[in-house]
Amino acid sequence: DVKVTQSSRYLVKRTGEKVFLECVQDMDHENMFWYRQDPGLGLRLIYFSYDVKMKEKGDIPEGYSVSREKKERFSLILESASTNQTSMYLCASSSSGGWGNEQFFGPGTRLTVL
Amino acid sequence: TQLLEQSPQFLSIQEGENLTVYCNSSSVFSSLQWYRQEPGEGPVLLVTVVTGGEVKKLKRLTFQFGDARKDSSLHITAAQPGDTGLYLCAGVTSGTYKYIFGTGTRLKVLA
């Protein structure tokens, strides 16, 4: 059974803290993505990676960074958390070799920044 | 910035009714996907359409890609409570890995 796992389902942090969200996939996928999901806004892409150590900015990268040291793991980092980063964060992966391949999503991390 | 607008945003219907959800853009996509997301879970792919005018059926769900590949619709026949969830369309432009997600339609089917 293919799987994308995220390190936490719920997380509460204080303003200014450094926050790490971890994502691991077991499908040997080349592409990995981080989205945030807010009501009425759908999913917005923060960063994606198409290979180890490769990354590209999505639509809303400000205040975030990412790390991909191993193919199966993609980390999202909030350098200094702010209240407007309170959201649901979703990680996804997909194989390469064609546009629009299926994305497999993790269950999400609901982050609250106080 | 590419946008995908979905309508309606919310829909509450009785079991057995039919419904249609729309996904519209001014941009052309090489393919378009529909996902369903249930509470506490990530989205799960329902279908991918790649050819203008294409129609795909998945049991009681019918998906159509517009001729110009700018829009899509999802029609559910005889809705059931198990269809309840958030429906998301996502478009992909050739030459990019980026998926543009729609704003979502939250469907509730009452027994």
Residues within 8 A of A (CB atoms), B 6-65 only: 6, 9, 30-33, 35, 40-45, 48, 50
Share of chain A above pLDDT 70, in %: 95
Q: What are phi and psi of A47, to 5 degrees?
A: -150, 155
Residue B94: predicted pLDDT: 73
Tell me the average pLDDT across B12-35: 94
pLDDT value of residue A42: 86
Nearest neighbour of B50 by CB, restricted to A42, A58, A100: A100
Higher pLDDT, A50 or A17: A17
Q: How confident is the model at residue B99 (pLDDT cuts 50, 70, 90)?
A: confident
Q: How far apart are CA B83 and CA B24, in angstroms?
A: 22
Nearest CA to CA, how far is A68 from chain B (Å)? 17
The band of B1, judged by pLDDT with boundaries at 50, 70 and 90, is low
Would the pLDDT of A95 be above 70? Answer: yes
State the Cα–Cα distance between residues A86 and A114, nearest whole angstrom.
8
CA distance A39 to B10: 11
d(CA B24, CA A34) in angstroms, rounded, equals 24
Residue A35 has, within 13 A of its CA and on its CB side, a CA count of: 26
- Residue A99: its pLDDT value, please? 57
What residues of B are in contact with residue A33 (Cβ under 8 Å)? 99
Average model confidence (pLDDT) for chain B?
Answer: 92
Residues from chain A contacting residue B45 (CB–CB below 8 Å): 102-103
Neighbours of A94 (CB within 10 A): 23
CB-based contact (8 Å) between B104 and chain A?
yes
A42 and B103 within 8 Å at the Cβ level: the answer is yes
Q: Are strands B19-24 and B5-7 parallel, antiparallel or unpaired?
A: antiparallel
What is the arithmetic mean of pLDDT over A34-55? 91
In this prediction, residue A39 carries a pLDDT of 86
Residue B92 banded pLDDT, cuts 50, 70, 90: confident
Region A28-56: what's the mean pLDDT? 92
